[in-house]
Amino acid sequence: MRIPPGSTIGIIGGGQLGRMLAGAAAELGYKCHVLAPDADPPAADVAAHCTRADYADCDALGRFADAVDVATYEFENLPADALARLGAKLRPGVASLEIAQDRAVEKDFIERTGGRVARWARVDSDDDARAAEAALGLPLVLKGRRLGYDGKGQAWAREAGSAVAAWNAIGREPAVAEAGIAFEAEFSIILARAADGATAVWDVPLNLHAEGILRRSQLPAPALVEAQADEAIATATALAAALGHVGVLTVEFFACADGPIVNEIAPRVHNSGHWTIEGAVTSQFEQHIRAICGLPLGSTRRIAPAVTMDNLIGDDVLGWEKIAADPEAKLHLYGKGAPRPGRKMGHVTRLG
Ligand code: ATP
Ligand code: MG
């Protein structure tokens, strides 16, 4: 199925990822139609059409489905049953969404596909929380199965007997407990998969987090990460194939002394791939549009010896004038209005 330029691409979700997807789509001659519940979604600023509706509003989804030639999503916390009505127009399909939006289903899937994850257990009761602490040891992180992002909905248990308190701290939602990993570094594999199964992978960024939020991605990654890249790429490629994924897929990894461990999957473009806008022949955003529209994949070749992408989180964005005054800094602002603590407001990329 080839969706030619001039067609309309539906983007479900109105955040910065949707905004950057719409920009890339426009460069290839497509129009975008954003569906989001928010009053003023950042993606709508750069899209031809916007429907403001709840993601579970079946009437609105039906009209949206009729209005677009292909549809994609920019985040995964969406009602899969409602999106299923988009049928074959939805790329990636519902399977990628269903698996990535539930941490327990996701971990089962990764293990069945041959990937390694942190030792984990389901937690649905106080007894489960105590049993997880006994089985997995400390430290332990409790994560809500659904709706997490940027480390939200997570709590650590570090002292004996504190797993129940950690589960309480995340609201006693259905959860997973994960053994804390003493990783050496974090990195991500970002790949694109076409409908015919062709895949393209970018170079591997080192990802630096603070308080559960990505702060910086940088390339080249250190040798200890590079040494694990081939194994991680094989895992990510197998996961994408098992999902029948079409589009960009991101797999976050912990680099451990005994090899790569999968942290989680994002069935979409990813913050750790923003460096590709200036740093690669084809950005993750253009590549996603190419994949879902049935165009050939572009080259993922890195075009600078070193690339650094820094997020502008919360008040960081107030320094935009200084960044804009640096002729070597590529400033991206998401048009989100007032900064809030922990909110991703923009990013800046530097080639070296
Ligand atoms: P995002 O969607 O922004 O990637 P998230 O809310 O899905 O975030 P995770 O990726 O699960 O969160 O965790 C955020 C960060 O917390 C990780 O990148 C890592 O730094 C740390 N972390 C998560 N799980 C573990 C673990 N089992 N052991 C050690 N550190 C962890
Ligand atoms: Mg993560």
pLDDT in tens, 42-101: 999 999 999 999 999 999 999 999 999 999 999 999 999 999 989 999 999 999 999 999
Residue range(s) occupied by CATH 3.40.50.20 in the chain? 8-90
Cβ distance 307 to 349 under 8 Å?
A: yes
The alpha carbon of 263 and the centre of ligand 1 are apart by a number of angstroms equal to 7
The alpha carbon of 241 and the centre of ligand 1 are apart by a number of angstroms equal to 24
Structure tokens at 156: 């650590």
The alpha carbon of 144 and the centre of ligand 1 are apart by a number of angstroms equal to 12
The predicted structure's pLDDT at residue 352 = 92
The predicted structure's pLDDT at residue 170 = 95
The predicted structure's pLDDT at residue 220 = 98
The alpha carbon of 212 and the centre of ligand 1 are apart by a number of angstroms equal to 6
- Please enumerate in sequence order all residues whose Cβ is within 8 A of that of 56, keeping only pairs 6 or more positions apart, or say none: 79, 82
Task: Encode pLDDT of 157-178 as tens digits.
Answer: 999 999 999 999 999 999 999 9
The alpha carbon of 177 and the centre of ligand 1 are apart by a number of angstroms equal to 12
Q: How far apart are CA 319 and CA 25, in angstroms?
A: 29
Q: Determine the atom of ligand 1 nearest the C-alpha atom of 271.
A: 3
Q: Whose CA is nearest to atom 3 of ligand 1?
A: 150
Q: How far apart are CA 330 and CA 318, in angstroms?
A: 16
The alpha carbon of 213 and the centre of ligand 1 are apart by a number of angstroms equal to 8
Name residue 130's amino acid.
R
248: closest CA among 205, 209, 199, 307?
199
Residue range(s) occupied by CATH 3.30.470.20 in the chain? 185-351
Q: Whose CA is nearest to atom 2 of ligand 1?
A: 149
Q: How far apart are CA 341 and CA 80, in angstroms?
A: 30
Q: How far apart are CA 296 and CA 2, in angstroms?
A: 10
Pocket of ligand 1 (CB under 6 A): 118, 141, 143, 148-152, 178, 180-181, 186, 209, 212, 252, 263-264
Q: How far apart are CA 77 and CA 334, in angstroms?
A: 20
Give the ligand with the smallest distance to the CA of 17.
1
Q: Determine the atom of ligand 1 nearest the C-alpha atom of 179.
A: 27
Q: Determine the atom of ligand 1 nearest the C-alpha atom of 151.
A: 6
Q: Whose CA is nearest to atom 21 of ligand 1?
A: 212
CATH, range 119-179: 3.30.1490.20
Taking CA 24 as the corner, what is the angle to CA 298 and CA 45, rounded to the nearest 5 degrees? 170
- Please enumerate in sequence order all residues whose Cβ is within 8 A of that of 75, keeping only pairs 6 or more positions apart, or say none: 13, 15, 17, 149, 268
Q: Determine the atom of ligand 1 nearest the C-alpha atom of 139.
A: 28
Task: Encode pLDDT of 14-37 as tens digits.
Answer: 999 999 999 999 999 999 999 999
Cβ distance 83 to 74 under 8 Å?
A: no
Q: Which CATH superfamily is domain 185-351 in?
A: ATP-grasp fold, B domain (3.30.470.20)
From the number of C-beta atoms within 10 Å of its C-beta (0-12, 13-18, 19+), residue 322 rates as exposed
Give the ligand with the smallest distance to the CA of 170.
1
The alpha carbon of 84 and the centre of ligand 1 are apart by a number of angstroms equal to 28
Q: Determine the atom of ligand 1 nearest the C-alpha atom of 181.
A: 28
Task: Encode pLDDT of 289-338 as tens digits.
Answer: 999 999 999 999 999 999 999 999 999 999 999 999 999 999 999 999 89
Q: How far apart are CA 156 and CA 134, in angstroms?
A: 15
DSSP state of 48: S
Of 211, 213, 252, 263, the residue with max ligand 1 atoms within 8 A of its CB, to mutate for a pocket test, comes to 263
Q: Determine the atom of ligand 1 nearest the C-alpha atom of 118.
A: 27
The predicted structure's pLDDT at residue 6 = 98
- Residue 193 Cα distances to 70, 153, 205, 242, 291, angstroms: 16, 30, 19, 11, 7
Q: How far apart are CA 108 and CA 270, in angstroms?
A: 22
Q: Whose CA is nearest to atom 13 of ligand 1?
A: 151
240: closest CA among 266, 204, 275, 272?
266
Q: Whose CA is nearest to atom 15 of ligand 1?
A: 212
Taking CA 264 as the corner, what is the angle to CA 258 and CA 266, rounded to the nearest 5 degrees? 140
The alpha carbon of 171 and the centre of ligand 1 are apart by a number of angstroms equal to 18
The alpha carbon of 96 and the centre of ligand 1 are apart by a number of angstroms equal to 20
From the number of C-beta atoms within 10 Å of its C-beta (0-12, 13-18, 19+), residue 219 rates as buried
The predicted structure's pLDDT at residue 303 = 98
Q: How far apart are CA 59 and CA 57, in angstroms?
A: 6
pTM: 0.96
Does the domain at 8-90 match CATH 3.40.1410.10? Answer given as no
Residue range(s) occupied by CATH 3.30.1490.20 in the chain? 119-179
Q: How far apart are CA 148 and CA 152, in angstroms?
A: 5
Q: Whose CA is nearest to atom 16 of ligand 1?
A: 212
248 torsion bin: left (phi>0), alpha (psi -120 to 50), beta (else)? beta
